[in-house]
Structure 1
Amino acid sequence: MTNKLGVHALVFSGGTTPAEVDYIIGETKKAGFDLLELSLHDAANLDVPAARAALDAAGLGIVTSRGLAFAADVSSDDPEVVAKGATLLHDSLQITHGLGGTHFTGALYSALGKYGHALSAAGRANVVSTLKDLAVEAQGLGMTLGLEICNRYETNVINTAADALRLADDIGHDNVLIHLDTYHMNIEEDDLVRPVHLVGDRLGYVHIGENHRGYLGSGHLDFGAFFHALADISYDGPITFESFSSAVVSPTLSNDLAIWRNLWNDGPALAAHSHRYLSNIIEGTRAAV
């Protein structure tokens, strides 16, 4: 396994102002990571050229992620709401390209929040149509899209690997890949192994998070089994640590994800620990193969 290791920006800071981005990039580099995942929920404050220059200077790769808002939800039955979501996705793709990134991922298919109803057939058709167009645009830029599988309290579109594969099949473009997240898998999947095998070579991105989104190893997830499953399919893509605490607050994302608990106070210490943890488990997995 020769995976690049990443960390989510919310380990360090809740926004993306120039000062925050400089701090995030510095701490990401200091902790030893290869890439930074930046949520685009605060994109209005992001200075794209300055951020790209800082990433290049630090020698860091970049992945961006986002979910949508209910007022800009491409899974809606309302054409105006869908159109707003499509514009948001287009703008986010262009921001990612401007940052030098080639991978745009997340809940690109719905709002990020608890729905009070099941997904309608019309809403699903809107998701497929919108992401077909986005995939074509991404392909022209040499970029891939990730379908992050989220739990039932954050979306009603895809909750399992099987759901995501069906959606990707309907979108029908090779640059639409599957994004597994151990936190969400713990809620929705039967185990952490079979979904990896099911997705196989269509896996494009991985989030590592504990069952409570705190320190790796402090919860009950069987990361050993998960990493052996990744080795089984020869996964060589990015593996990004994701953790949230009320100690670092995003003006929008913390509420969307219900981050009410203070699971840690020191982001840099958490990042250093997670890099050691991931490096060690990958090394152990490699030795066992």
Structure 2
Amino acid sequence: MVATDTLTNPIGVHALVWVGDTSPASLALAVEKTRATGFDLLELSLHDSVNLDVAAARDALRAAGLGVACSRGLAFDADVSSDDPAVVERGEKLLHDSLAVTQGLGGTHLTGALYSALGKYGHPLTEAGRRNVVAVLRRLAAEAQARGMTLGLEICNRYETNVVNTARDALRLADDIGAGNVLIHLDTYHMNIEEDDLVRPVHEVGERLGYVHIGENHRGYLGSGHLDFTSFFHALGDIGYRGPITFESFSSAVVMRGLSNDLAIWRNLWSDGEDLARHARAFIAGQLHAAAAR
């Protein structure tokens, strides 16, 4: 995967900027829009993988010269942080299936809330639930290692998980899993809610950072909110981060109703995905250039 404009980081965009599902027609549109707007990578959420034609998607991505990463969260009836063995088993199967889909698409990175359902919990994580998370992700990491792949622990806010809310939480979980191919995934939208600032977590994670989501505090146009992106990108430069940086934004005009409800998308801050994406691509490139010129 070759980044453009002499930038060393591949710049990605989440497919949900373009389409709400992964049907063949939607996937073809997402690939074309991603290529046309100058991104290097397309991130696919596997919440709708039952409708994904993996072989056709792989061919379309290759033809467009795009890299691919996959992400997902789990459901409450398939939650590896549950105390119920049957629920954990369903969640583990989803994760292993997702790993196979990611590889089938030509990707090497499966990331997201791989450790829990994506939604508001009514109680803290139990000790038994955490043991289940560690055991499941150890097995998933071993399979990923055999496939030459990495896993990302995306750090999500308290309203979307009770397992990992801060960089320190993610580092502790990764340490307990004990696999070198389990990396940390920072997301500025979630960091804004849970972290003291956008700099210290980057330095704490350091070389274990494997994936980055860029999103504004309200998930709208980058730079239209209050996040200190300059300091964040400078911190990425401090640690020499060269991995993907993917723009993530959601609108209920695009995202399917179920996922839109899960993510609490009650208002739309944009309606033109192409304009939003072009702006994001230029914004991220500008931040990377500025950080490199320090």
TM-score bracket, normalised by the shorter chain, equals over 0.9
Query: C-alpha offsets along residues 76-134 of structure 1, whole Å, 9 cap, x if unaligned?
Result: 00000000000000000000000000000000000000000000000000000000000
Aligned to 2:98: 92
Q: Give the letter for the 1:34 counterpart.
A: D
Contact 1:201–1:235 (Cα < 8 Å) also in 2: yes
Aligned to 1:254: 260
Aligned to 1:267: 273
Hey, what's the Cα distance between the residues in 2 that align with 1:274 and 1:158? 27
Hey, what's the Cα distance between the residues in 2 that align with 1:201 and 1:117? 33
Hey, what's the Cα distance between the residues in 2 that align with 1:40 and 1:252? 14
Hey, what's the Cα distance between the residues in 2 that align with 1:211 and 1:128? 30
Aligned to 1:239: 245
Hey, what's the Cα distance between the residues in 2 that align with 1:172 and 1:72? 24
Aligned to 1:4: 10
Hey, what's the Cα distance between the residues in 1 that align with 2:291 and 2:178? 33
Pick from 165, 171, 195: which aligns with 1:165? 171
TM (norm. structure 2) is: 0.97
Q: Aligned pair 1:155/2:161, yes or no?
A: yes
Q: Aligned pair 1:117/2:136, yes or no?
A: no
Query: C-alpha offsets along residues 208-257 of structure 1, whole Å, 9 cap, x if unaligned?
Result: 00000000000000000000000000000000000011221224321110
Q: How many residues in Structure 1 have an aligned counterpart in Structure 2?
A: 288
Contact 1:146–1:176 (Cα < 8 Å) also in 2: yes
Pick from 5, 17, 26: which aligns with 2:23? 17
Contact 1:10–1:250 (Cα < 8 Å) also in 2: no
Aligned to 2:209: 203
Q: Aligned pair 1:191/2:210, yes or no?
A: no
Hey, what's the Cα distance between the residues in 2 that align with 1:285 and 1:150? 26
Q: Give the letter for the 2:95 counterpart.
A: L
Q: Give the letter for the 2:175 counterpart.
A: D
Hey, what's the Cα distance between the residues in 2 that align with 1:249 and 1:159? 24
Give the SS at the match of 1:177.
strand
Q: Aligned pair 1:135/2:141, yes or no?
A: yes
Give the SS at the match of 1:107.
strand
Query: C-alpha offsets along residues 14-36 of structure 1, whole Å, 9 cap, x if unaligned?
Result: 00000000000000001100000
Pick from 261, 273, 289: which aligns with 1:283? 289
Q: Give the letter for the 2:155 counterpart.
A: I
Give the SS at the match of 1:142.
coil
Where structure 1 has 5 or more consecutive residues not aligned to the other structure, the ranges are none
Q: Aligned pair 1:146/2:152, yes or no?
A: yes
Aligned to 2:4: none
Contact 1:148–1:178 (Cα < 8 Å) also in 2: yes
Give the SS at the match of 1:33.
coil
Where structure 2 has 5 or more consecutive residues not aligned to the other structure, the ranges are 1-6
Contact 1:182–1:208 (Cα < 8 Å) also in 2: yes
Percentage of pairs with the same residue: 73
Aligned to 1:73: 79
Shift of 1:139: 0.3
Aligned to 1:61: 67
